[in-house]
Chains A and B, each alone.
Chain A
Amino acid sequence: MTLTDYLILSGLLFSIGVFGVLTRKNAIAVLMGVELMLNSANINLVAFCKFVDTGVSGQVFALFSIVIAAAEVAVALAIVIAIYKATRTIDLDKEDTLKG
């Protein structure tokens, strides 16, 4: 397949991820949307690595992205659990302390 197909795929995945981030109420659902976006970016990177003559830099980049995504999920879940313990809810509609 051509590069553009992979790019469109990743674009579509990214948009779905954006949708999920912006519309879900559950905080973990939002986190899953973020994961979708990260994965779409990774697809992009790896696709470019295959179709453009740059060695394996794209894949190295994707590797690092996976590492960081993992770390980020850990910390994000820790935050979510901390919030859950404090307020017994992870409904994002109720998290408006910054309102004003």
Chain B
Amino acid sequence: MFSFIEHYIWLIPLLPLLGAATNLLIGRRLSHTAVNVIAVGSISISFILSVLVYIHLISLPVNERHFVDTVYTWIGLGSFQVGLSFLVDPLSTVMILVVSGVGSVIHLYSVGYMHDDKRYSRYFGFLNLFAFAMLLLVLSNSILLMFVGWEGVGLCSYLLIGFWFEKIENARAGMKAFVVNRIGDFGFIVGFILLFTSMGLKTGTWTLDFGVIKSNINLIPVSVLTIVGIMLFVGATGKSAQIPLYVWLPDAMAGPTPVSALIHAATMVTAGVYMVARMNFLYVLAPDALRVIAIVGALTAFFAATIGLVQNDIKKVLAYSTVSQLGYMFIGVGVGAFSAGIFHLMTHAFFKALLFLGAGSVIHAMSGEQDIRKMGGLAKKLPITTSTFIIATLAITGVPGFAGFFSKDDILYNAYISPYGGKFVWALGVTGAVLTAFYMTRLVILTFYGNPRMDHHTAEHIHESPKTMTIPLIILAILSVIGGYIGMPEAFGVHNVFAEFLSPVFASNFNLPEGSISLEWMLMGVSVLAALLGIGLGYYFYAVNTELPDKLAEKFHTTYTWLLNKYYVDEFYLKYIVGGVMKLKDILALFDLGIIDGAVNGAAKLGRKLSEFDGAFDRVVVDGAVNAVGDGIISAGSILRKLQTGLVQNYLIFAIIGLAILLSFVLL
């Protein structure tokens, strides 16, 4: 029906780009209203266009839900062509809907949250720029263009984390995010260049387009594919905060809260998961790479959850929760259940964005306080915030009926039955679910319930947030509830609509084994039990026996300190990795000073010696010669002047002798 949209795909990333350009260049002279209209309007229109794309896509038959729109050829080097071309298929449609939809909601929220910031237009400019980069990333038809978007979101992440750069820690956090991302990007670049060259050398096709790579992929040896897969995943660990490159995400909480919601919950961090899903045709041919992904994801999920248990900053808890949930997504794609991973990506976007926006609302109400030990009893004063926050918590813990239940359960079930996962991965996932439920319950109880622990001054300023902030909360809350129903498992007797929608993308050469329905019900029960156990423990620890946490903290003091200090990973990195680089820097500086400067100075000394020698030569030899000539002439003169006696008779003698000599020639 909306087939015209096939030729206007490029509008979807372009509109936020134009909004960014306008707001960054002339935004300072515009009123807040104008900035709002430009920023929120551009991404909202992108969302509407994404909906049109979706509607058009489902009107096509299942096998034909795939088209490419090329705007122009960006690189043309003989047989290597990269075009500014966009790929629309079910996967990218899901992604653009999530990015533009959640993005629009968060843009709206930012209007209220940042209303008295002094760099208002710049904030929205960066936010739109980020939307452009992310949409470019998910819509691109070649790895190279995706990498452009990949770098773009990294850049915007840096710009927005360090937005309040007057405090040096915020600037440092921005730099940390960028540098750690770059380390991951190095792996990504190695990966795709290896893919490019091996494919080019083997098949003679030099390309980075997904479709062409997909058709030629089985000509490349599995060992090469495994390495490519792992290197690409290294990039994903950087972007999506997995072990070992997750360390930037907790520090990134230094940025404004809507930024954390958009970038570090809903969109940028999901780029890694999207990449693995997009390159599924590669990964299914390299099973070892998939196993690595699954194990890393599982470990991260568990590891981050343990840290989140004891954090006291509301945003840090949510940050570690994000890392942990991303681990789940990688478990999903790592065991081959690509649609499950994407499904969890979507639901996580809803409830994690809601959690962050809710936290922002709490911080706003608490006049900037972020320590949950100083909160409490906010439920009465912030009703909308509290209720949406609780809805999100129920979603994330996997309580049945909410979105998170379906997606998490899908992942855990596939982890159990998949040959790339196994029971270890599943066990880690279940344990992580218990921990997730525990720390989320702890967070809710300490923040919203109990006796108020804040000081009097702050208590008086507590107020519910304005409508621009609460309406997004409500929208996201609704999505957190109903968003899961499109992915209901087969066990319920219905089709998994979501998986069916995505199947053309993943279907070609991979099939997960089918498990039995009863197994599915059993595993589902285990996950529900895990969630309820976590919630119950949390309730007990923090609502019933409130002394217990402190007593346990004292008793297991070492463990508690380790958890509180994030296993000292940052300190380890600083000392050994950063320290190692610094030592390398010193060695190279030594080389530079010693050898290079030495060479330069040596050349200068040599030049000086040469000129001294030259000067000496000049003085002794040349001047000597000149002086000798002069002295010779003077001596000759002083001898010859004796001829001038002044006596005429002498002159006559000379004349006669001269005449004699002349005549002797004539006469003789």
Contact = CB atoms under 8 A, between A and B. Distances in A.
Are chains A and B touching in the complex at the 8 Å CB cutoff? yes
B649 A96 contact: no
Contacts of A21: 649, 652
B652 A100 contact: no
A96 B652 contact: no
Interface string B619-651: 000000000000000000000010011111100
Nearest to B656: A18
Interface in A79-99: 92-93, 95-99
B646 A95 contact: yes
Interface string A34-77: 00000000000000000000000000000000000000000000
B75 interface: no
Contacts of A100: 641, 644, 646
Given A98-B644, A100-B641, A100-B644, A23 B656 contact: no
Interface in A23-39: 23, 30
Contacts of B645: 96, 99
Contacts of B646: 95-100
B653 interface: yes
B312 to A, nearest CB: 113
Contacts of B649: 21-23, 30, 92
B569 to A, nearest CB: 103
A92 to B, nearest CB: 6
Nearest to B653: A22
A96 B641 contact: no
Nearest to B647: A96
Contacts of A22: 649, 652-653, 656
Contacts of B656: 18, 22
A95 B648 contact: yes
Given A18-B656, A22-B653, A92 B644 contact: no
B647 A92 contact: yes
Contacts of A18: 656
A77 to B, nearest CB: 16
Residues of B contacting A: mostly: helix
A18 B641 CA distance: 25
Contacts of A96: 645-647
Contacts of B647: 92-93, 95-96, 99
Interface in A8-29: 18, 21-23
Nearest to B652: A22
B643 to A, nearest CB: 10
Contacts of B652: 21-22
A99 B641 CA distance: 8
Contacts of B653: 22
Nearest to A93: B647
B96 to A, nearest CB: 112
Nearest to A97: B646
A91 to B, nearest CB: 11
A83 to B, nearest CB: 12
A10 B656 CA distance: 18
B646 to A, nearest CB: 3
A22 B650 CA distance: 7
A98 to B, nearest CB: 4
A13 to B, nearest CB: 16
Given A18-B656, A22-B653, A92 B641 contact: no
Nearest to A96: B646
Nearest to B651: A98
Nearest to A21: B652
B634 to A, nearest CB: 14
A83 B254 CA distance: 119
Interface string B202-215: 00000000000000
A99 B648 CA distance: 10
A25 to B, nearest CB: 9
A99 B646 CA distance: 4
A24 to B, nearest CB: 8
A92 B653 CA distance: 15
Nearest to B650: A22
A82 to B, nearest CB: 16
A53 B53 CA distance: 146
A21 B652 CA distance: 9
A97 to B, nearest CB: 6
Contacts of A97: 646
A87 to B, nearest CB: 14
A93 B656 CA distance: 20
Contacts of A92: 647-649
A100 B656 CA distance: 21
A49 B653 CA distance: 31
A26 to B, nearest CB: 12
Interface string B105-118: 00000000000000
B363 to A, nearest CB: 111
A21 B653 CA distance: 10
B648 to A, nearest CB: 7
Interface in B375-432: none
A18 B649 CA distance: 10
Contacts of B644: 98-100
A100 B640 CA distance: 10
A95 B650 CA distance: 12
Contacts of A98: 644, 646
Most buried by A among B646, B652, B656: B646
Most buried by B among A92, A96, A97: A96
A96 B643 CA distance: 12
13 contacts: A21-B649, A21-B652, A22-B649, A23-B649, A95-B646, A95-B648, A96-B646, A96-B647, A97-B646, A98-B646, A99-B644, A99-B647, A100-B646
3 smallest beta-carbon distances between A and B, as pairs: A99-B646, A96-B646, A98-B646
Interface of B: 641, 644-649, 652-653, 656
Given A22-B656, A95-B646, A99-B644, 4 more contacts: A18-B656, A23-B649, A93-B647, A96-B645
